[in-house]
């Protein structure tokens, strides 16, 4: 069955910001004698409110935490602005537009951040919707709320939409909304359990929507 819409996660899927933020947390904790447990950090990927701030505060003291976080964030944001789209993403976006499919960004991040970095990536045009958690843990992935809202606003049935995700939290949200979901892990999420996805691909380079429709036929 052909798709009517493709719903893209943003961080880690369109561009590999997840690796940048993982390295930022790892290096900051190491700077103060701590260590970042990959399994602990995995829980915060694709959602909000689970970053290891308590672990960092225990190392440096709560009074110093805001300044250290500000420094870490500024460095990570600078590095994110040097990123390029992940392989194959631009081609899939072009194919959506050539076929007249709706496309939307479904993200647990802030919309302001998503739109800013899309501009840096040269991908700011043509999105039908930005559906973002904007810091609200109650609607962030793995809750399906953002996907269900997108489907309502786009007026698309779940069976006629495809979700592209990179994390277990994102996959769980998409499947909870009744979507077909392709997981495309990045360097940080490749070792995580993405088995709830309908299909796992190491990359979408060279993959077309027609290929994916055939897989789900």
Averaged confidence pLDDT in the chain: 93
Q: Which of 64, 80, 96 is the last residue of a domain?
A: 80
Range of the domain at 62: 17-80
4 counts as catalytic: no
**Cα gap 176→110, rounded to integer Å:** 22
Residue 65: predicted pLDDT: 87
Better pLDDT: 112 or 55: 112
86-102 pLDDT, tens digit per residue, is 999 999 999 999 999 99
Same domain, 113 and 193: yes
Which of 4, 11, 166, 211 is labelled catalytic?
11
Most confident of 76-80, 187-191, 195-199: 195-199
What lies within 8 Å, CB to CB, of 144 at 6+ separation is 173, 174, 175, 176, 177
Q: Which of 9, 16, 143, 166 is catalytic?
A: 9
Task: Write out pLDDT tens, residues 15-25.
Answer: 999 899 889 99
Q: Within this chain, do residues 162 and 189 fall inside the same structural domain, yes or no?
A: yes
The pTM assigned to this predicted structure is 0.92
Q: Quick check: 196 and 175 in contact, CB under 8 A?
A: yes
- CATH of residue 120's domain is 3.40.50.1000
Q: Which residue has the higher pLDDT, 210 or 38?
A: 210
pLDDT band at 135 (very low <50, low <70, confident <90, very high): confident
Same domain assignment for residues 40 and 95: no
Is 9 annotated in the active site? yes
User: Is residue 50 over pLDDT 70?
Assistant: no
**92 and 72 both lie in a single domain:** no
Q: Is the pLDDT of residue 49 over 70?
A: no
* Residues 99 and 25 occupy one common structural domain: no
């Amino acid at each position: 069955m052909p798709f009517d819409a493709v719903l893209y996660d943003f961080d880690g899927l369109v561009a590999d910001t997840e690796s940048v933020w993982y390295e930022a947390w790892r290096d900051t904790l190491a700077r103060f004698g701590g260590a970042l447990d990959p399994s602990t950090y995995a829980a915060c990927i694709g959602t909000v409110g689970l970053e290891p701030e308590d672990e960092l505060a225990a190392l440096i003291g709560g009074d110093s935490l805001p300044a250290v976080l500000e420094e870490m964030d500024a460095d990570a944001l600078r590095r994110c602005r040097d990123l390029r789209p992940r392989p194959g993403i631009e081609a899939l976006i072009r194919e959506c537009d050539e076929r007249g499919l709706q496309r939307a960004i479904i993200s647990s991040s802030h919309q302001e951040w998503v739109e800013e970095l899309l501009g840096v990536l040269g991908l700011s045009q043509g999105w039908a919707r930005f559906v973002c958690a904007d810091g609200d843990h109650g609607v962030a992935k793995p809750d399906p709320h953002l996907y269900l809202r997108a489907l309502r606003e786009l007026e698309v049935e779940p069976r006629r939409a495809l979700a592209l995700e990179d994390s277990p939290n994102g996959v769980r949200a998409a499947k909870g909304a009744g979507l077909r979901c392709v997981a495309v892990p990045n360097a940080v999420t490749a070792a995580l359990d993405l088995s709830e996805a309908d299909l796992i691909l190491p990359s979408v380079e060279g993959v077309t929507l027609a290929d994916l429709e055939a897989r789900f036929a």
